[in-house]
Chains A and B, each alone.
Chain A
Amino acid sequence: MGNLTAGGTRNFEILDELLRDSCLELMTDYGLPAALASPRPSGSGSSDPPIALSVAAIDFSGRDVRGTIGLRMTTSVVSETYRVALGKPLEPDSMEAADWTCELVNQLIGRLKNKLRTYNVSFNVNMPRLLPTFPVAELERAMRNRFISDGGSFAGYLDVMIAPGFALVDSPAEVPLLEEGDLVLF
């Protein structure tokens, strides 16, 4: 992340915290409460046993922030969340599995966006995309939160650029804000 001012560091701390909460809440809603995984020692990744992974990413851009959010999951997490949502098993490597992986990252960025409303941050979101060949090394440079649950492991990534001089400041919402699962009839 380069040389950061104190204010810049605080921006990234806030985003990291919001990303962590968004990841945890998303998976908890699908029956996978999770805990933060311990940081791996540098260079230990190459000796890990191969695990089937699914990764999706989505770009966003606004006046003050822009970047990419990614969600890396073991395929068991994709299958389990799908089973909870639709009540049926998911065929691995199917179009449906790819679609659901993208939907999960879409819901992750939705949560992050909703949390950022009280910081007066807004952005537009592009279409989610599956990353079939996962650029691990590239994403590992981004801020990340890794989690372990009974259904498998997952990690949220955020690669973000913040406008110079911009500071994330939490301010109370003027109107009650909707949360995930809420319904409003007009």
Chain B
Amino acid sequence: MPKKILVIDDSASVRRQVSGVLCSAGFQVLEATDGLDGAERIRGDADLALVICDVNMPRMNGLDMLESLKQEIADRRLSIVMLTTEGQPEAMARAKKSGAKGWIVKPFKEHLLLGAVQKLTQSAT
């Protein structure tokens, strides 16, 4: 059974881009359009293997979402990788503190994204 990955990004193009890479590698991909939508999907799906999340999004940004789910992320040992144009050390520290496992600066390199996803989904099993 393919591992399930949730991609949270307000850009449909980015979601499609990430989904294309992950589906080609055999993952099942779900999508959410902002932090609120993403939090709802994370809470509603116990089978997620990993979440890829943008930072700058409408309604609720990725860091706020992460902080709101901090305990749940820890309890489920859910891996979260931030995928964003931001490279601020303060933002990265905030994400790490809330349980994120990685940070990628857009535009991403496909092999690096895939390598990180494979490593984190393997270590989670």
Contacts and interface: CB of A to CB of B under 8 A. Distances in A.
Given A87-B20, A99-B11, A180-B106, A106 B87 contact: no
A85 B12 CA distance: 13
A30 to B, nearest CB: 7
Chain B interface: which size bin?
A: 35 or more
A73 interface: no
Interface in B99-114: 100-109, 112-113
B84 A183 contact: no
A103 interface: yes
A110 B86 contact: yes
A113 B11 CA distance: 19
Nearest to B54: A106
B10 A180 contact: no
A95 B16 CA distance: 13
Interface string A67-99: 000000000000000100111000000011001
Contacts of A117: 87-89
A4 interface: no
Interface string B7-45: 000111110110010000000000000000000000000
A44 to B, nearest CB: 34
Contact of A30 (B10, B100, B107): B107
Interface of B: 10-14, 16-17, 20, 56, 58, 84-90, 92, 95-96, 100-109, 112-113, 116, 119-120
Given A86-B13, A114-B85, A175-B89, 16 more contacts: A86-B20, A95-B12, A96-B13, A103-B13, A106-B11, A107-B107, A111-B85, A178-B87, A181-B109, A182-B105, A183-B112, A183-B113, A184-B103, A184-B104, A186-B95, A186-B100
Interface of A: 29-30, 82, 85-87, 95-96, 99-100, 102-103, 106-107, 109-111, 113-114, 117, 122, 125, 127, 175, 177-186
